[in-house]
Structure 1
Amino acid sequence: MGKLNIETITSHDTEQPADSIEWCPHDGWQDVFVCGTYQHERDEEPSSANRVGRILLYRFGGGPTDDTLSLLQTIDRSAVLDQKWNPRTNHQLAVAGADGTLALYALSDTSGQLQLEPQTTATLAGDETEERNLLALALDWSPDGKRIAVSDSHGCIELLNVEDGLQHVHSWKVHGFEAWTCAFSRHNENIIFSGGDDCLLCAHDVRCPGEPIMKGKNKTHSAGVTSLLSFAARDHILLTGSYDENVRLFDERQLKCSVSELPLHGGVWRLRSNPLREPDAILCACMYHNFSVVRLNADDSFELVGVYGEHESICYGCDWQQVGKGYRSGRNVIATCSFYDHKLCVSEVTVA
């Protein structure tokens, strides 16, 4: 893979500020993705009641040459901070809300049209010593699809079991400020990583019956840790993004220092890969600059190989279409969204 061109195929006005994109990874529904929005009613005091949002369910194309973008469903709800599809079963979507909840939805076509149907909701515990005003900021599924980790604005991490509804397992205080992000290790499902506004990257072992044990800590980020990607395609690789505008690579077994890093621009809010096709191409949402594609080389170094500057506001949400090389279109497709211009774009990525 050499240098990349990224060309817009189609775009859409999400009406509200958009901050997250997730393509469905399941067979038969890889042309479906969700976009989350976050609208803050600024005339009011901060509370969950005036942070409203939507889940927008889209379908892109119905065939190899069809570039139609169709809005299938709009769900009005509390503002959406993060969304993730269950990686294994049930076509479940987990949603982190600005009302301090984690909600599960099921994707179904029993009515003849694809719809997300609400399943269950859990309220996060947060830090009891702080005022409630709690936001669920980020989430991640365990590799087996049976547990979810959630990080929140109180600096806490919460672990929930999904096998029978949403059952609380652990909740523990980790960070001094917002816990912006969390991720299960793709190489050891008992390890959860977290990143916070206190500049800390932490690793937690959740096998303990009590509060999880801190297994590692890194203090080298010069600003908040905002995104994590446990890299399934290579053993023990963890990628981080930060407000300090760098993407870094760590060995999950030794977090004291990074193996490599690359300065980008604007703060790295999300990191996304497609493990089924070109897994070494990492899509980065660089908040105040653009969307960038970084290649992870064989020697664990980074190289900037593509930039996408179509958006004119904060670049928050992005994802690769989760398809393999045998998928009908044969194209590498991404979806991106930005905040105040409430713009959603679907684009094709090609070798220059």
Structure 2
Amino acid sequence: MSSEKPQSISSLITEFLDQPPSCLEFCPQDPDYFVIGTYLLHEEKPEQQQSGRENASSTSTVKQTKTGTLQLWHLNATTPQLQEKQVVTLSHAVFDLHFHPRQSTLLGIAGSDGTVSLYSISCSHHDSSNYPHIQHIWTRSVHDEDPGSIPSLYLTWFPKSWFPTTSSYPDGFAVTFADGRTSVFSTPLPAAAAQQGKERNGEGGQHDIAKGNGLDLIETQFEAPNGVAIEAWFVALASYTEEEAATDDSSIKSSSFIFTGDDFGSLNIRKFCAPDEEGDDGTSSDLSLEDCMISDTSDRARHHTAGVTAILPLPIMNMVANAPILLTGSYDEYIRVYHANSRRGTVLAESRLGGGVWRLQVIDTEEADAGEINFLVLASCMHAGTRVVKVTWKRRQATEIGDWDIQVLAQFTEHESMNYASGFWKGNRSTSDMVCVSTSFYDKRLCLWKLQL
């Protein structure tokens, strides 16, 4: 780990929200806008407690409910200025939200009531305003046991061509829950969609996830490892080219992965691969996700001494030494370069960031000298604020593990409570300044700051 002192950043603007912010993300379609999800806990005391009549033998409990909002904000990076444009009130709190990686106006959210909702963020032809609006598309329950009582904690979309069959499921997402379950929801196969009369977009039966009500999605459930009900805080999906096929275009073979992290500190890895045998039409379209799973392993908390709260597959197309390279964050305050090479895994580098590492995002990837790649990463570090981190990989060959280093370049520490949500502006920069927004939960701060790269 590099020992250079990070630069300390001061805010340019601070706004105060009306509810605690839990997550945020910039709009890919228009990078001057971002959406904040909020989480508000309501506590209602029983009537006898409210009137002061409770006694030592009373077994009454406080009733808790959760609500939230989606808030659309505009960022002027030049002025600079932050302006709230729209607030959508929700009957549940928002644990997580993410824009679709290919349909850039679609936004998925994970709700405290065990639901997933889909929204669009776009300009309406029926509105004279010149800014986009949040519009609801559908909401569905994604947990079948005691609906509404088990929260959805995290949601991630399928990367391109992630589903491990040659005739891929067009689209879908994975979601984790407070009881440790991970569920994958995929759009119907073309043949199944045709049988159900759902050829909606004229592309050979390919199903558009934004059409309909979301109830025809195909669900695959993966229960908590060892059957222990504990929060599964994070899920990440990724696909990699096998090393032996990386240089042979005629026989490229890829593997798909589901990575999950739980509150015990365990990192679970499920690997999927389409079988070599194909159907008469050259596809394996009748195979389910479970049919393609070839391994299911856990490191049993060997490396993380508290809950695993962030898993970031680094943007490396091929596996390295036959295994993926991940960046992980944990309640134990460490960011780690993690080689998912076996049931045990290996930590290649680590750095303590001063607070629980709740979220990680790749800002930029740069190939420096021959054999060196730098990953610039934004980290939301709970009570320690926000960090900008450089992760460096040096190696002689592309598939070599090589040497890894983690350097904290900058820190933003004005938040007075948990920094769960941060983001960076992806508009056209005329300077080397990086524009960021970050939030804190209990003091409801929204801060804008710049970093000279």
Shorter-chain TM range is: 0.7 to 0.9
| 1:69 paired residue number | 82
Q: TM-score under structure 2 normalisation? A: 0.69
Which residue of structure 2 aligns with residue 217 of structure 1? 298
Counterpart pick for 2:186 among 161, 164, 167: 161
Is the CA contact 1:160–1:168 (under 8 Å) kept in the aligned structure 2? Answer: yes
Kindly indicate whether the alpha-carbon contact (under 8 Å) linking 1:316 and 1:338 is maintained by their aligned counterparts in 2. yes
Say which structure is richer in strand: 1
Residues 62-211 of structure 1: matches in 2 within 5 Å? 65-77=78-90, 78-110=92-124, 111=127, 112=129, 113-125=131-143, 128=145, 133-144=149-160, 146-161=171-186, 163-165=207-209, 166=214, 167-175=217-225, 176=228, 177-185=230-238, 187=240, 190-205=256-271, 209=288, 211=290
Contact 1:156 1:179 (8 Å CA) reproduced: yes
The change in CA–CA distance for 1:341 and 1:25 in structure 2 (over 3 A counts) is: same
Per the alignment, do residues 337 and 46 of structure 1 end up closer, same or farther by CA in structure 2, a change over 3 Å counting?
farther
Name the aligned partner's letter for residue 34 of structure 1. Answer: V
Paired residues of 2:179 and 2:224 also in contact (CA < 8 A)? no
Residue in structure 1 matching 2:67, options 18, 38, 52: 52
Letter in 2 for 1:237: I
Cα distance between partner residues in 2 of 1:224 and 1:290: 18
Deviation string, structure 1 residues 44-85 (Cα, Å, up to 9, x no partner):
6688x8100111111101xx6231211111011111111111
CA offset digits 1:174-233 (Å, max 9, x no partner): 243000011112536731110001221011235662645544322221111111111115
- What's the offset of the Cα at 1:161? 2.2
**Residue 229, structure 1, aligned to residue 232, structure 2:** no
Whether the aligned pair in 2 keeps the contact of 1:12 and 1:343 (CA below 8 Å) is yes
Report whether the alignment pairs 1:284 with 2:363. no
Report the AA paired with residue 331 of structure 1.
Answer: D
Distance in 1 between the 2:325 and 2:220 partners?
Answer: 25
Residue among 19, 24, 35 paired with 2:22: 19
- In the TM superposition, residue 322 of structure 1 has moved relative to its aligned partner by 2.9
2:257–2:271 CA contact under 8 A, matched in 1: yes
Task: Please say if 1:340 is aligned against 2:340.
Answer: no
Q: Aligned partners of 1:303 and 1:118: how far apart in 2?
A: 41
- In the other structure, the counterpart of 2:327 is 239
For 1:57 and 1:43, the matched residues in 2 are separated by: 29
Aligned-residue identity in percent: 28
For the aligned residue pairs, the C-alpha RMSD in angstroms reads: 2.7
Provide the C-alpha distance between the structure 1 equivalents of 2:173 and 2:384, rounded to a whole number of angstroms: 31
Q: Amino acid of the residue matched to residue 346 of structure 1?
A: L
Secondary structure of 1:232's aligned partner? coil
Matched, 1:319 2:414: no
Counterpart contact for 2:364–2:377, Cα < 8 Å: no
**Does the Cα contact within 8 Å between 1:17 and 1:339 map onto a contact in 2?**
yes
- C-alpha separation in 1, matches of 2:218 and 2:413: 41
Structure of larger gyration radius: 2
Match of 1:257 among 332, 335, 346: 346
Unaligned runs of 5+ in 1: none
Question: Which is further off, 255-264 or 93-102?
Answer: 255-264
Higher helix share: 2
Give the Cα–Cα distance (whole angstroms) in 2 for the partners of residues 214 and 244 of structure 1. 28
* Partner Cα distance (2:407, 2:159) in 1: 28
Distance across 2 between alignment mates of 1:237 and 1:244: 20
Q: Which amino acid aligns with 1:31?
A: D
